[in-house]
Each structure stands twice: as structure tokens, then as C-alpha cells.
């Protein structure tokens, strides 16, 4: 509702043609969440495979993947001649810190409940 329309017959020109429709809230059930996560995971895996194929065709040593424990995207720079890891983003140390913080957060929530 526009405040300018109160007491007048004609709505303001900016309001003409604008629909104010609010979509219904999505229903979040464990089954729906699992399906959405599986679909998202499938799309992410396909995108990672496509990115890896494209990068490998260019002859670079980049590799994209997902960390299984944290779900974070990993980018690895690999020496193509020795197949040795040069650099990883985020670093393995940062992933370890993230995992430790997740465990700590889980312990705090269990103690509060």
C-alpha cells in the first residue's frame, strides 16, 4: 500500500503496473532439505568437473575440488611435471582450524541444550 494513495482516487504514476506479490515461504522439511542438498551437490560436482576439464585443456596445473568434511571449495596448484602440490587455497592448516571450530561449536550447543 502506498501512503500517497490514501484519500485519493488515482495511485501515483510510480505505483501503476507494479504488483506487490509476496511468494509463499518455502516448506523446510528434512526430506526437502536432503533433496535440495543432493541437487545442489550434483550441480556443484558437474560445475567442478567442467572447470577441471577446461583448466586441464589449457595445460595449467589448477585443480578444483570440494573438501568432504567442511564442504568448502578447494583450489590446488599442482606442478604438472612432478604432479606435486605447490599450493592449496584455503591452506590445510586453515581447514584444520575450521574443523576444530566446528567441533567446538557443536560441543557448546550440546552443553546449552
Q: For residue 12, is it within any domain?
A: no
Provide the domain count of the chain. 1
Q: Is 37 exposed, middle or buried (0-12, 13-18, 19+ CB in 10 A)?
A: exposed
Q: Look up the domain containing 96 and give its range.
A: 29-112
**Cα-flanking dihedrals φ and ψ of residue 112, to 5°?**
-75, -30
Q: Model's pTM, two decimal places?
A: 0.50
Q: For residue 24, is it within any domain?
A: no
> Looking at per-residue confidence, does 66 or 25 come out higher?
66
Q: For residue 11, is it within any domain?
A: no
pLDDT tens-digit profile of 59-80? 778 888 888 887 888 989 988 8
Q: For residue 16, is it within any domain?
A: no
Amino acid at each position: 500500500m502506498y501512503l500517497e494513495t490514501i484519500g485519493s482516487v488515482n495511485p501515483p504514476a510510480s505505483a501503476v503496473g507494479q504488483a506487490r506479490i509476496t511468494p509463499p515461504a518455502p516448506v523446510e522439511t528434512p526430506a526437502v532439505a536432503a533433496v535440495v542438498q543432493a541437487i545442489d551437490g550434483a550441480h556443484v560436482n558437474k560445475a567442478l568437473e567442467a572447470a577441471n576439464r577446461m583448466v586441464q585443456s589449457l595445460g595449467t596445473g589448477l585443480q578444483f575440488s570440494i573438501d568432504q568434511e567442511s564442504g568448502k571449495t578447494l583450489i590446488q596448484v599442482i606442478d604438472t611435471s612432478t604432479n606435486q602440490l605447490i599450493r592449496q587455497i584455503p591452506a590445510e592448516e586453515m581447514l584444520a582450524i575450521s574443523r576444530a571450530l566446528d567441533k567446538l561449536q557443536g560441543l557448546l550447543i550440546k552443553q546449552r541444550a
